Amino acid sequence: MADETPVIEIRNLHKAYGSLEVIKGVDITAPKGTVVSLIGSSGSGKSTILRCANLLEDSQQGDILFKGEPVKWKGSGLSRHPADSGQVLRIRTNLSMVFQQFNLWAHMTILQNVMEAPVTVLGRDRAEVEKAARGYLDKVGIGDKCDVYPAQLSGGQQQRAAIARALCMEPEALLFDEPTSALDPELEQEVVRVIKDLATEGRTMMIVTHDMKMARDVSDHVIFLHQGLIEEEGAPQTLFGAPKSERLQQFLSSTMAA
């Protein structure tokens, strides 16, 4: 690999809400072209880590690096904030986030939803963006839905539109926050298929998920979080096949049985 610099690197991350510390010193690396999944029970800090990586949340301690470039901070502790708004925008546009609740704009067609950020935030040529957007909607299997509005789509179709929107930013990495948890099981599979396809293309992804089968199938590296700390991590076959920690064994026996 020519460039060994990870796309995302998190070192000794701490995050608190007031006196409640939810992330207690976590190190995560997402090398280029790898899929890192975060698993763990509700409240373990998975989504918070993703939001800190994307600078949607401020962390109180630790370093966040994007392609080797550290986020600049000012202040300390609970008053620590990013120091450079230009840097934040650049990093955020390169780390496209796909949320649990789709977050599509109801008053725009699906095509307009996908085109909006590349045109308005990145200032890219509208005709060029439209061509790319149609291509990404085809890729996720809803190319025929360009002119309809989000309310006319199923949840699975809306989430696939949200993935197309993320891809249209041509990001360095995709961040998925529980992308299937708001969906019925059959609609969930539509979205899992798209994520699997993206993984086989060698896209860099960080995925927070409750879907253990997806985590096992698409990940290069899986991290099990418990109460704001990494309890165990490793290759999916090791983590799912021979978990060492008792907590992970309990977690898997309850989730895999469900």
Parse the chain into domains and list their residue ranges.
8-257
pLDDT of residue 80: 96
Q: Residue 255 has what pLDDT?
A: 85
185 three-state secondary structure: helix
List residues bridging with 23 in a β-sheet: 15
Q: Degrees (nearest 5) of the Cα angle 192, 178, 36?
A: 75
Sheet containing strand 20-30, strands side by side: 20-30, 8-17, 61-66, 69-70
Amino acid 102: pLDDT = 86
* pTM for this entry: 0.93
Do 141 and 82 touch, CB atoms closer than 8 A?
A: no
Q: Please provide the DSSP assignment of 35-56 as one string.
A: EEEEE-STTSSHHHHHHHHTTS
Chunk the chain into consecutive blocks of 10 residues (it has 258) and report each block's average pLDDT, rounded to whole numbers.
81 95 97 96 93 95 96 94 95 93 94 96 95 97 97 95 96 95 88 93 95 94 97 96 95 81
pLDDT for res 82: 97
**What's the distance, CA 237 to chain centroid?**
22
pLDDT given at position 3: 62
- DSSP label of 232: E
pLDDT of residue 1: 43
State both tokens at 19: 């006196």
* Residues 6 or more apart in contact with residue 242 via CB below 8 angstroms: none
* pLDDT tens track for 183-231: 888 889 999 999 999 999 999 999 999 999 999 999 999 999 999 999 9
- The CATH number for 8-257, chosen from 2.60.130.10, 3.40.50.1370, 3.40.50.300, 3.10.28.10, is 3.40.50.300
* Per-residue pLDDT tens digits for 243-258: 999 999 999 998 876 5
Tokens of 217: 């199938």
H helix intervals, 83-211: 85-94, 110-120, 126-139, 155-168, 185-200
**Nearest Cα to Cα of residue 173 among 67, 76, 257, 79:** 67
Indicate the burial class of 144 (C-beta count within 10 angstroms; 0-12, 13-18, 19 or more): exposed
